[in-house]
Chains A and B, each alone.
Chain A
Amino acid sequence: METLQYIIRKLITGIPLLLGVTFISFMLMVYFGPDKTYELLGKNATQEQIDEIRHQLGYDQPFFIRYADYLKELVTLDFGHSDSTGEPVSGLLGRTMPISLALIIPGFVLGNLIAIILALTAAYHRGSWVDRLIMGFSVVGMSISFLIVIIAFQILLSSSYGLNLFPVRGWNMSTFGNYLSYVTVPTLATVFVSLGYNTRFYRAVIVEEMTRDHVRTARAFGVPPARLFYKNILKNCMIPIITRVIFSIPLVVISGSLLIESYFGIPGVGKVTFDAITTGDQPVLKAVVGMTAVLFVMAQLVTDILYRAVDPRVTLK
């Protein structure tokens, strides 16, 4: 009951945030964005045609009415049709979102899980060669550009110069086997790139927790080192870990897959967004920006509730 009340309260306080984000993005992308009149009509349009199309596009309406229309679109999830393909925007996103999720989730989960395990290992052996080896690889992973990593993995795994085991480009989820063959290389690239940053962050969190008094107490009561890590330390580290994981989700879903999708020719949300930006496809952009804002508010809500689950000192108020 307390949690439900909290969720409702939090959703209400999320409204100003949503309004702010949508307002700014509306102003930058739509109000001051490209004027599509001539794009649609060509050079030799008559004044009547111009007025007609501007009316259709809503350009003749005052600023706040146009903004209100955008909000209405957000609430009803009806963003109209894409300028470039004519496909309904909701259909377009509905088609591409599952692809992006299927593409990104394995790399995201593995990238965080492996990083936590590596960070625990490094922290446990802190100062020894194991620690230095792991942290050395992290720095290497962080220092190599994502593009180089993608290309290197493509050459090593998907070309005749390398092992030639996987397709270079494209996407197919019709069977699980197909899915695996298309998702493996992008996943490996994502894991390789995110591992460095994640491991460094998680190790810092864990090492800091290790210096706490309660860890010394646990040792003074004979807790064995392995248990000390997975019980006493890990649960105390959950707040920064949760924050990092949840807050990277909206970014990963919308923009994180952009590079991957364009390099592997995968028709996901990232690709759609990228195309929409380059062609000025406003209905699509409005949808993507709005949904990102909503995702962030949801992420905030979820983190707050999870905080409560891992730390009894947090009250949902």
Chain B
Amino acid sequence: MSSDQQPLLRVRDLVVEFNTEAGVARAIDGVSFDIYPNETVGLVGESGCGKTVTGLSILGLIPSPPGKIVQGSIEFMGRDLVSLPEEELRNIRGSEISMIFQEPMTALNPVFTIENQMTDVLTRHQGLTRRQAGKAAIEMLDKVGIPIPEQRIKEYPHQLSGGMRQRVMIAMALSCGPKLLVADEPTTALDVTTQAQVLEQISLLQDEFHMAVILVTHDLGVVAETCDRGIVMYCGNIIESADINSLFNHPRHPYTEGLLNSIPRLREKKVDQLPIIPGRVPDLFHLPEGCRYGDRCNRVTDQCRQTAPLLQSVTEHTAVSCFHPVTQTSG
């Protein structure tokens, strides 16, 4: 987190477009952020805001066609992943940068055993023999808290529960000791108790493996519990970036504030209706001029409708793209 460290990942002006029948949709429009070693960063936003696409572009996994990185750079330990040849990128995938996905039900290949899928990764990246890889895989499964891993490893994904499958995914992702883990909604498909266990497992292993984690999620609760920093996205832009305490206690962007206000809270007085953000997310083909949040914002002015605010640093670790940031917490 500290700024004296070199960032592990440096994303600059990333633009990703999708060619659709309705025209070109710019899913990510000039996104820049840094990830430092060992930190956990939450990438938050509503569905369609570009958070998953951001995660996928780091590993060059955007379905292409129709998607394409048209501009920007993703620098990982001195190499630009955008311009890196596919073969070299393949060597990074699953070894230096790993990714885990939302649906543990479908993310694993149903017709191969856990052992087959895990040793495949280990033999490819670590140069292990099948036998060594099998042993390493069992150790990894044990680490992620799978009971009787010697037996489980012989099974097929459909024989495991959702939580177990996600643990297998984590074991697979961490088996080569990555420096960066991109977790795309890793707990969304799981029930709440399993969610907590899986998240805890990730942060435990994060300390052991000294890796950075990008947690892509729409769940602010998850971010509050596990992340050091939060990056809020809206319509393909980053609108606020701050450390976790100031993001939750002192949100600067009206959208962040709106999101936080709309979280139901148990301990507080019961309200008749949760505050909601009025209006809808504009679709990518009909973006408003100026600030993309303008039509839904209660602080909107003529300035916002004419020019789009840029992401500007407020303090060393916080940045917001708003002409009229919230200065005091109103909730």
Question: Which residue numbers of A lie inside 8 Å of B, CB to CB?
Answer: 127, 212-214, 216-224, 232, 235-236, 310-313
Contact = CB atoms under 8 A, between A and B. Distances in A.
B303 interface: no
Nearest to A216: B61
Interface string B86-118: 010011111100110101001111111100000
A223 B111 CA distance: 16
Contacts of B101: 213, 216-217, 220
A216 B61 CA distance: 7
Interface stretch (B33-41, B120-128, B224-232, B311-319): B120-128
Contacts of A235: 111-112
Nearest to A127: B65
A222 B111 contact: no
Interface string B147-186: 0000000001010000000000100110000000000000
Contact of B111 (A127, A218, A220, A236): A236
A232 B103 CA distance: 18
A224 B61 contact: no
A313 B65 contact: no
Interface of B: 59, 61, 65, 87, 90-95, 98-99, 101, 103, 106-113, 120-121, 124-125, 156, 158, 169, 172-173
A311 B103 CA distance: 20
A222 B90 contact: yes
Given A127-B65, A213-B103, A218 B109 contact: yes
Contact of B172 (A221, A223, A310, A312): A221
Given A214-B110, A220-B101, 11 more contacts: A214-B108, A217-B101, A217-B108, A217-B109, A217-B169, A222-B92, A222-B125, A224-B87, A236-B110, A311-B110, A312-B156
A220 B93 CA distance: 6
Nearest to B121: A221
Given A222-B91, A222-B125, A312 B110 contact: yes
A214 B169 CA distance: 11
A304 B106 CA distance: 23
Contacts of A214: 106-110
Interface centre among A127, A219, A221, A232 (most CB of B within 10 A): A221
Contact of B158 (A222, A223, A232, A312): A312
Contacts of B156: 312-313
B18 to A, nearest CB: 15
A219 B61 contact: yes
B61 A220 contact: yes
Contact of B94 (A213, A216, A221, A236): A221
B94 A222 contact: yes
A311 B59 CA distance: 30
A218 B124 CA distance: 12
A132 to B, nearest CB: 14
B65 A220 contact: no
A176 B156 CA distance: 47
Given A213-B103, A217-B101, A313-B156, A224 B110 contact: no
B111 A311 contact: yes
Contacts of B103: 213
Contacts of B124: 221-223
A216 B112 CA distance: 15
A117 to B, nearest CB: 21
Nearest to B113: A312
A222 B121 contact: yes
Nearest to B65: A127
A95 to B, nearest CB: 43
Q: Which among A127, A213, A232, A311 has the highest number of chain B CB atoms within 10 Å?
A: A213
A218 B94 CA distance: 9
A235 B112 CA distance: 9
A220 B99 contact: yes
B125 to A, nearest CB: 7
Nearest to A313: B158
Given A213-B103, A312-B158, A313-B158, A219 B93 contact: yes
B107 A213 contact: yes
A312 B125 CA distance: 27
A214 B106 CA distance: 6
